[in-house]
Amino acid sequence: ADVAGKGISAALLMANFQAILRGLIFQKLSIKELITQLNTNIFKVTKGERFITFFIGIVDFNQHLLTYVNAGHIPPIFVQKENTKTLRKGCLILGATAKLPFVQIGQEPLNETSTIFSFTDGVTDLTNDHNEYLSEEKLIQFTREHFSLSSDDFNDAFFKFVNEFKGSHPFPDDFTVLTCKIKPELQ
């Protein structure tokens, strides 16, 4: 999740969002109901003046399946030995409207090579000494070339890659990454 804006108001909204999410998780809602309730509750707080981008994925280890919704977040990269894609299915950003006009549910089969790489816009807002942005294509290429590493080694390699890319340019925003290796017990 990433809150629009900076400062105390953004931090308070994120704290509120986390509390709402924790309360809803235990209600055993479907992923669509969960996203709908999150949006309703965030809109009550923000009145549409602030919003949150959010990605949620649920792993079913019995069916070897990832079910997800992307609520306006930068699409995570999903990579397996045989393919790479971005996880785009979902809905609008949370809190911008009282009711979500649509919610698309995404699903991806899992195998022993499944990796999800998610990041905030602090990554894609990076520029280098030639004023080029760190493009989705470069991020996909990096992920594809390094996904077989452990999560720790992948993240270390990514931070090295980012620092080499940006050169002397500072980080324009907060910079958060999450690397998930999903290894369902395949039979």
Q: What's the pLDDT tens digit per position in 46-62? A: 888 889 999 999 999 89
The count of residues in the chain is 187
Mean pLDDT of 126-143: 93
CA pair distance 31, 45, nearest whole angstrom: 21
Percent of the chain exceeding pLDDT 90 equals 69
Q: Which residue has the higher pLDDT, 172 or 15?
A: 15
Kindly tell me if the per-residue pLDDT of 123 is higher than 80.
yes
- Any idea where the domains of the chain sit in the sequence? 2-182
Question: pLDDT, tens digit, for every residue of 65-113?
Answer: 999 999 999 999 999 998 999 999 999 999 999 999 999 999 999 998 8
String of DSSP letters for the chain: -EESS-HHHHHHHHHHHHHHHHHHHTTT--HHHHHHHHHHHHHHHHTTSS-EEEEEEEEETTTTEEEEEEEBSPPPEEEETTEEEE---EESPBTSSSS-S--PPEEEE--TTEEEEEE-HHHHT-B-TT--B--HHHHHHHHHHHTTS-HHHHHHHHHHHHHHHHTTPPP-S---EEEEEE-----
Mean pLDDT of 135-140: 94
pLDDT of residue 122: 86
Mean pLDDT of 117-144: 92
Domain 2-182: CATH superfamily is PPM-type phosphatase domain (3.60.40.10)
Percent of the chain exceeding pLDDT 70 equals 96
Alpha-carbon dihedral sign for residues 146, 56, 25, 4: positive
pLDDT of residue 77: 97
pLDDT of residue 187: 44
CA pair distance 19, 23, nearest whole angstrom: 6
